[in-house]
Amino acid sequence: MCPIEQMVEKHLKQLCDNLSNGEKISDEQIERILNLKTICNTFNQKEDKRNPWFILTVFLSVLVIISALLFINVGDTRIDADLLLSGLSFSPISKSQIISSPIAIESASLSGIQRAFFPPQANQKILELSQPMLNFQHNSATPNSTANNIVLNKVVVAKEDTIELMREKDQWILKIYNQNNKPIKSEISLSIQGEIAVRYAEAESKMVYSDPVLPQFLWHPSGFKLQFMVSKGINDLVIEQLAIDYLSLSKRENLSETSHPVFSWRSSIVAGDLYLEELKGEKLSLRYGENLQLDLVSGTVRLVKTEAQHLRALFHGTTRELYLGEKANALNLMPTLLELAKSQKAMALLWFSSLYVFGIVYTAIKWWKGF
């Protein structure tokens, strides 16, 4: 109650007392009370009047907040992937041994070599070859002899190098290069034993070693390529628990049949599922040839193995970008702030509870001020 209303009430009470005592009310007293009442009404109207800019400001603020939640993506997100691929490329966080155990191979071809050194055979000198393209093959007369062995002992990929791994029919194709055009620091180790046919350029040589020996290779700075076929009945190449900071689910293909190559990058995805961990593991099924692009922060290749003439790859990691399709018209799969908030049930409950309590308190205050 405003002070003027109190004055009006006081005068009305006094008039009632006067009437009770038999006194008359003058026109001047009535006019005075009416004037006070008019002033009081005017005062109340000014007090209750709302600033229209305040309402507009509140509306725009709410609109900006909702827009931010709806259109702004999170900075990075965690993903899991179970994919069937025709190839993939990755870079380890540190110098890493790629294969877990030596692999017996039927045949192998090796290119990207500046110089190759083979240990001396009986009564011979070290064989040194300049820029060869090597093909290793078992002696065709005794292909299954236990005395004839070609073994891939290790594949060590340096931190700044990239390994491209592909599977074509029964062949593995392994390329190692440096994306910054620096000399590669990776290495592979092949051991040979028994009678092994080695082809280089237009020549052919038969190596005969009674004990396993390790040829030495000096790689070309631009990288090298190893193509090999695993011996039948032998454990295949398997990669497990490898920490990486780069991953590409595409492979380079030569579109030209001439001596002048024309390369194009194509998706290596055959099929698979992508899981968005920030959205409670929301699953996205990937189809053949869909182009999934990542800007990896860090991750782990949990498993790579052969399956139905392809590669089965299990991966977990954190990425700054996640697109499906070509970037110009790609679908951004990074969760928005609103999607993230919706997936966090505890956070949503906190927000709605806070708004509910605020509404009750605000209503109670308005009700109290009305008295």
Band of residue 149 on the pLDDT scale cut at 50, 70, 90:
confident
Q: How many beta carbons lie within 10 A of that of residue 117, not counting itself?
A: 13
283 domain-assigned? yes
Domain boundary among 188, 206, 236: 236
Domain boundary among 204, 236, 268: 236
Cα angle at 62 between 58 and 64, to 5 degrees?
115
363 domain-assigned? no
Is 113 in contact with 132 (CB distance < 8 Å)? yes
Residues 6+ apart with CB under 8 A from 348: 341, 342
Count: domains in the chain: 2
Q: Are residue 224 and residue 251 in the same domain, yes or no? A: no
Q: Are residue 258 and residue 304 in the same domain, yes or no? A: yes
SS3 183: coil
Q: How far apart, in whole angstroms, are the C-alpha atoms of residue 275 and residue 335? A: 12
Q: How many beta carbons lie within 10 A of that of residue 193, not counting itself?
A: 18
DSSP class of 37: H
164 domain-assigned? yes
Tens-place pLDDT, residues 209-224: 888 889 999 988 888 9
274, 132, 287, 103: which is closest to 203 by C-alpha?
A: 132
Q: How far apart, in whole angstroms, are the C-alpha atoms of residue 50 and residue 366? A: 14
Q: Are residue 130 and residue 162 in the same domain, yes or no? A: yes
356 domain-assigned? no
Is 237 in contact with 262 (CB distance < 8 Å)? no
Give burial (CB, 10 Å; 0-12/13-18/19+) of 216. Answer: middle
Q: State the pLDDT at residue 2.
A: 58
Token pair listed for 366: 């308005």
Tens-place pLDDT, residues 327-369: 678 888 888 887 877 776 666 677 677 777 777 877 777 677 6
Q: Phi then psi for 44, rounded to 5 degrees?
A: -65, -35
Q: State the pLDDT at residue 343.
A: 72
Tens-place pLDDT, residues 16-71: 666 666 666 666 766 666 666 676 666 565 555 555 676 678 778 877 877 777 78
Which residues partner with 173 through β-bridges?
Answer: 166, 227
Look at 268 and 202; give whichever has higher pLDDT. Answer: 268
**0.75 exceeded by pTM:** no
Is 273 in contact with 287 (CB distance < 8 Å)? no
366 domain-assigned? no
Domain boundary among 208, 236, 264: 236
Side-chain-side CA neighbours of residue 186 (13 Å): 34
pLDDT above 60 (res 138): yes
Q: How far apart, in whole angstroms, are the C-alpha atoms of residue 19 and residue 313? A: 100
Q: Are residue 112 and residue 84 in the same domain, yes or no? A: no
Identity at 115, one-letter amino acid code: R
Q: How far apart, in whole angstroms, are the C-alpha atoms of residue 154 and residue 148? A: 19
Tens-place pLDDT, residues 269-308: 999 999 999 888 889 999 999 999 999 999 999 999 888 7
pLDDT above 90 (res 84): yes
Average pLDDT on 315-322 reads 93
140 domain-assigned? yes
Which residues partner with 354 through β-bridges?
Answer: none
Q: Are residue 120 and residue 212 in the same domain, yes or no? A: yes
Tens-place pLDDT, residues 179-191: 888 888 898 999 8
Band of residue 314 on the pLDDT scale cut at 50, 70, 90:
very high
Q: Are residue 123 and residue 230 in the same domain, yes or no? A: yes
13 domain-assigned? no
Q: Are residue 276 and residue 301 in the same domain, yes or no? A: yes
Q: Are residue 158 and residue 118 in the same domain, yes or no? A: yes
Q: Are residue 153 and residue 110 in the same domain, yes or no? A: yes
Q: Are residue 106 and residue 231 in the same domain, yes or no? A: yes
Q: Which domain holds residue 263?
A: 77-96+238-335
46 domain-assigned? no
Q: Are residue 90 and residue 136 in the same domain, yes or no? A: no
Average pLDDT on 82-88 reads 93
Band of residue 78 on the pLDDT scale cut at 50, 70, 90:
very high
Q: Are residue 180 and residue 87 in the same domain, yes or no? A: no
State the chain's mean pLDDT as an integer: 80
